[in-house]
């Protein structure tokens, strides 16, 4: 059973960068697909992108292309998402979700609150 | 790209059955699997249906998923409603087999 543990809450200044991590245990990290989804306060879920560690293939939602980088470290079973040039509108909870390739059953992390404020 | 449209909110009484729809704007609903996520207030989402109709272990059999080619939509049906089912529900499918497309979410009130 895959379990995902995300890094703690962050408070950032506008224009800065933030990195959120997602450590997986159980299951096969290498052959999984790890997605990142954010949720602004009171809003719905928004897909940001995903990575497949075994192939290093990364996909980004068009909205975040160029401002977000997703990586995976197989040695630590950890996926990361970096977002740059933060704006106040980026204040949100960011979730990671992992599923085995060919399987639609995603397991979710607990979420990381990113607050962007001057 | 396509849009998945869900009703903003639904409500029903405990013990009753409710169905939440998810309509695909273009392309075929059957072309890629649909998932359903439950998000209780203040909690992370969890998967209640994947691959159109499959229930993860631990999800009660009261939850079921289906697709309807004639209306180009997917549905989540919850029978024997319980107060703990009160949550936001999101449908999700794929664009080009890779990119997630998420519905706007439906707030289920059990009153």
Question: Tokens 């059953």 sit at which residue?
Answer: A105
In percent, how much of chain B has pLDDT > 90? 96
C-beta atoms surrounding A78 within 10 Å? 20
How near does any CA of chain A get to the CA of B13, in Å?
25
B43 falls in which pLDDT band (50, 70, 90)? very high
**List of chain B residues whose C-beta atoms are within 8 Å of the C-beta of residue A102:** none
Query: What's the pLDDT at B110?
Result: 97
Q: Mean per-residue pLDDT for B90-108?
A: 95
Query: What's the pLDDT at B74?
Result: 98
How near does any CA of chain B get to the CA of A104, in Å?
5
Tokens of A90: 């980026």
- For the stretch A20-61, pLDDT in tens is 999 999 889 999 999 999 999 999 999 999 999 999 899 999
| For testing contact with chain B, the best of A46, A103, A104, A108 (most B CBs within 10 A) | A104
User: Do residues B100 and A50 touch, judged by C-beta distance below 8 A?
Assistant: yes
Is B28's pLDDT higher than 90?
A: yes
How near does any CA of chain B get to the CA of A106, in Å?
6
Distance between CA B49 and CA B55 in Å, rounded? Answer: 5
3-state secondary structure of A86: coil
B98 falls in which pLDDT band (50, 70, 90)? confident
Interchain CB contact of A81 with B (< 8 Å): no
From B89, B109, B108, select the one nearest B35 (Cα to Cα): B89
Is B87's pLDDT higher than 90?
A: yes
**List of chain A residues whose C-beta atoms are within 8 Å of the C-beta of residue B35:** 104-106
């Amino acid at each position: 059973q895959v379990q995902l543990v995300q890094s703690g809450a962050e408070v950032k200044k506008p224009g800065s960068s933030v990195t959120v991590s997602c450590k997986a245990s159980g299951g096969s990290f290498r052959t999984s697909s790890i997605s990142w989804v954010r949720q602004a306060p009171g809003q719905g879920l928004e897909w940001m992108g995903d990575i497949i560690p075994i192939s290093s293939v990364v996909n980004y939602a068009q909205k975040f292309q160029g401002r977000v980088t997703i990586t995976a470290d197989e040695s630590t079973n950890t996926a990361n998402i970096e977002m740059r040039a933060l704006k106040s509108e980026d204040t949100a909870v960011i979730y990671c979700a992992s599923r085995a390739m060919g399987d639609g059953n995603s397991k979710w992390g607990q979420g990381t609150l990113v607050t962007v404020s001057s | 790209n396509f849009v998945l449209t869900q009703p903003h909110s639904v409500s029903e009484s405990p013990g009753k059955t409710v169905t939440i729809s998810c309509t695909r704007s273009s392309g075929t609903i059957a072309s890629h699997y649909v998932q359903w996520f439950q998000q209780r207030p203040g909690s992370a989402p969890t998967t209640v249906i994947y691959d159109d109709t499959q229930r993860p272990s631990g999800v009660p059999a009261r939850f079921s998923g289906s697709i309807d080619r004639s209306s180009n939509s997917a549905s989540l049906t919850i029978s024997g409603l319980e107060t703990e089912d009160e949550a936001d529900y999101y449908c999700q499918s794929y664009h080009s087999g890779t990119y997630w497309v998420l519905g706007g979410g439906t707030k289920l009130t059990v009153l």
